[in-house]
Amino acid sequence: MAFSYTTAADRSGQAVRWLALFMLVLLAGCAGRPTLETRDTASLSMQQALIVSTARNALGAPYQWGGTTLRGLDCSGLALLSYRTAGIALPRTSNQQFQALPRRDRAQPGDLLFFGPRGRATHVGIYIGNQRMVHAPGTGRTVRVSDITKRYWRHHFLGAAGPRS
């Protein structure tokens, strides 16, 4: 019969290996999310101004799943309405919009901000400048302005996208 003994050095080495593995997993999880960076410009293009203006005009509109008018909007319906006003066609859902538009390294007013788990956009808002977005947050709520520096938005951010320049 064989006995095995673990020394303090063995246990210490195991602890170091587990700590190193934990740190690797933690860093890998952080590396997968883009950072939410913005670039506010002094002057907006006509398209950007129309998108931002339409989004602001929707403030207070009730949330309605599948809604695309001021009588009721969901998040992707708000993006669709705002971009349509500027003469830009968009797909209907937030994930389709995320896939269709060119990505931005830094969001500019009028760009769309996408949020969701595992690379799939489940929410979209319109960046209006000053670290704020207009979005339709969900059932029982109305279209509103939110601060994108909040932990929730930073943690769920997938990317920014906008029309071709």
Give the tens place of pLDDT for each residue, 70-126.
999 999 999 999 999 999 999 999 999 999 999 999 999 999 999 999 999 999 999
Whole-number pLDDT of residue 14: 63
Phi-psi region of 95 (alpha: psi -120 to 50; beta: other; left: phi over 0): alpha
Domains and CATH numbers, the chain: 46-161 (3.90.1720.10)
* Statement: the pTM of the whole predicted model exceeds 0.85: no
User: Looking at per-residue confidence, does 165 or 139 come out higher?
Assistant: 139
Tell whether the model's pLDDT for residue 40 goes beyond 50.
yes
Q: In what order do the strands lie in the sheet with 112-115?
A: 103-104, 157-161, 112-115, 123-129, 132-135, 144-147
104 within 8 A of 161, measured Cβ to Cβ: yes
CA distances from 72 to 30, 52, 66 (A): 36, 18, 8
Confidence band of 22 (pLDDT split at 50, 70, 90): very low
- Which residues are designated catalytic? 75, 123, 135
DSSP bridge pairs for 62: 142
